[in-house]
Amino acid sequence: MLRCFLLACFLALISARPSWGQAIPPAPGPSSPHLESVLTSPVTSSSHNPSVGASEPHADAHRLAQANQQYLRGEFEAAIQSYRSILEQHPQTPEAYAGLTRVCLKQEDVQKAYEVATMGVRLTDGPTAHTALGEVYFRQGKLLGAEQEWLNVINKGEPIARAYWGLSRVRTAQSLNKQAQEMLDKARELDGTDLDIAKSWINSQSGAEQIRFWSHYLASPNNEDAETRVGLQHRLDFLKATQNQPPHSCRLVSPVQATEMKLLPLQGDGHLRGYGLGVSLNGTEGNMLLDTGTHGIVIGRKLAGKAGILKVSETNFVGGGDGSSSGGYQGFAKSITIGGLEYQDCRVEVTDQDSALVEEGVIGMDVFGAFLLDIDFPAQQLSLQPLPQRPSDNTGKLALQTSGEEWKLDDDPASGKADPGPQEKSSPPIAHEPRDRYIAPEMVNYTPIYHFGHLMLIPTKVGDESQNLFVLDTGSSMSPLSLTTAKGIVNFLVPSSVGIRGMSGSVANVFDVGDVTLQIGNLKEENKQAFAFDLSHLSNEVGTEVSGILGINLLRQLAVRIDYRDGLVDFRQKQQ
């Protein structure tokens, strides 16, 4: 099988060859097709956008379209051969380098993707090649480098759809949601046939539109791996199962704008493994691990049975460990009580692996995303306070976030917010629009973070190395490094006797790293007897490089304020 790592010799040979033959520009394509046409259009990657510009040489449009289709169908070896054949005759074809780059990224060979992309920039120095290089930078965790590549393309007036799409990904990670939507809309306007753009854009559409799109997408050949296809199918099944039901708004029914809760220290294997909260589901009590690395509320089947959580659709869980994902289902709780807060009609996920949950369940801190969270670990105290009001906001209503929505204050009672009062019920709901990060005066010294779904990636300096991105994970008892990060700070890795286990089983190949100094925001913390293991699965799932995890062994010494809405955190050292 021909894989990306076999391209090195070929690329070295063509880098010195002159171009020959007359370049043939691609045929024009549709400008804004319906969603179904995304799945059937012969050219579906904006790296071959007909609006690229006449200044870049092009190979035969039909051969490029064929290579694109092979890539999109997951026929990666055939796509590599096709792109290679094009480059043998037209060594300065930027679209072929961009296509090869994306194949390597799909095959999770980031280093080879970088080599291909940089060669494309060196030989063609055009907007298509620079856009592909930005995609590699994004995957490498060099988000500012990716942003600069795409901004340079856009600021030169080049109508490259994927440059706008890439910039929308950075803006989303930066909690600049209005800008992200504008960039995404522009990308779709330039190339409505690009599947990556379409998959991002469809998330802002109605449930009926999402059902139609994902039904067509999953019924067609695609390049998703088996695990991703299973997850997308479960997503589609959930949309179908709930499309004719009233909105499950997870509304706040208790008149509480602020509250405090006591954290429960949870022990495992003789050491602190995390902190928990007492939660009541449908009147059934349970202690749940408080986990910034998890989304929503996840419980085991035993507690789900007691609480009467009925199955709506299946789901799967991917956690730490070298095993496969585990199964489960999604349902709804009529009532959830946490401290002084009561919510009704909230989504809950149920895992088949009760043994993976030391407690009765796990509660992601993103469920409190409409509050300002203040977690004082030494004092074992969680405080929820109102977020700073944006200058343009009316008084918002607080909500428990369990359905993957943007963390927000909103005035729409149908979108998961507090139960409206008698006077408000007669008023029409205000449509939600994405809004950009707001940094209140009292938060100017907070650390901006990158949001990838519910995960918070914190810029973290490791020793004397440049900044990396670490996941803030209160559900992890330890703070491991990735193998890539560890290799950058030690000469050789020594196998460790530390046993690591996650939801997906045990972790093999753990290595000792020694004491490591981490700079997190304005604090320096010593990670004593650090260890490392392969985090590439997490990086591939997130879509950018994860260099390590900030776990409870470091966080237990700190107080942490989190503003999910605006992507801000504040770390404070506490005296014990």
Helix runs in 480-520, H state only: 483-487
Per-residue pLDDT for the chain (576 aa), expressed as one digit of tens each? 456 644 544 444 444 433 322 222 233 333 333 333 333 343 334 443 433 333 455 568 899 999 999 999 999 999 999 999 999 999 999 999 999 999 999 999 999 999 999 999 999 999 999 999 999 999 999 999 999 999 999 999 999 999 999 999 999 999 999 999 999 999 999 999 999 999 999 998 999 999 999 999 999 999 999 999 999 999 999 999 999 888 887 888 888 889 999 999 998 777 888 999 999 999 999 999 999 998 889 999 999 999 999 999 998 876 554 555 678 999 999 999 998 889 899 999 999 876 555 568 999 998 888 899 999 999 999 999 999 999 877 644 555 555 444 333 333 323 333 333 333 333 333 346 899 999 999 999 999 999 999 999 999 999 877 789 999 999 999 999 999 999 888 887 888 777 666 555 567 788 999 899 999 988 898 998 899 999 999 999 999 999 999 999 999 999 999 999 999 999 998 765
Tell me: do 450 and 337 sit in the same domain.
Answer: no
Gap between the Cα atoms of 561 and 571, Å rounded: 7
CB contact at 8 A, 86 and 120: no
Residue 232 is assigned to a structural domain of this protein: no
Residue the block writes with tokens 């060594």: 91
Residue 434 is assigned to a structural domain of this protein: no
- One-letter identity of residue 148: Q
Residue the block writes with tokens 């959830």: 336
Two structure tokens written together for 22: 């007359």
Size of the chain in residues? 576
DSSP assignment of 246-284 equals: PP---EE-S--S-EEEEPEEEEETTEEEEEEEEEEETTE
CATH code assigned at 345: 2.40.70.10
| Domain total of the chain | 3
Gap between the Cα atoms of 548 and 566, Å rounded: 23
Domain boundaries, position 25:
4-223
Residue in 414, 244, 252, 243 with CA at minimum distance from that of residue 335: 252
Tell me: do 272 and 342 sit in the same domain.
Answer: yes
DSSP assignment of 216-227 equals: HHHHS-----HH
Tell me: do 216 and 94 sit in the same domain.
Answer: yes
Please state the φ and ψ torsions of residue 227, each to the nearest 5 degrees.
Answer: -65, -40
Tell me: do 162 and 295 sit in the same domain.
Answer: no
Q: How many CB atoms lie within 10 A of CB 254?
A: 14
Bridge-based pairing state of the strands 523-533 and 481-482: parallel
CATH code assigned at 79: 1.25.40.10
Residue the block writes with tokens 């977020």: 387
pTM, to two decimals: 0.85
Q: How many CB atoms lie within 10 A of CB 205?
A: 12
Residue 172 is assigned to a structural domain of this protein: yes
What is the DSSP secondary structure assignment for residue 294, as one 8-state letter? S
Helix runs in 57-109, H state only: 61-72, 76-89, 94-106
Residue in 105, 111, 62 with CA at minimum distance from that of residue 80: 105
Residue in 378, 343, 379, 386 with CA at minimum distance from that of residue 363: 343
Tell me: do 197 and 256 sit in the same domain.
Answer: no
Those residues whose C-beta lies under 8 Å from the C-beta of residue 62, and which sit 6 or more positions away, are none
Tell me: do 174 and 259 sit in the same domain.
Answer: no
Residue 136 is assigned to a structural domain of this protein: yes
What is the DSSP secondary structure assignment for residue 392, as one 8-state letter? T
SS3 73: coil
Tell me: do 406 and 478 sit in the same domain.
Answer: no
Two structure tokens written together for 83: 């792109």
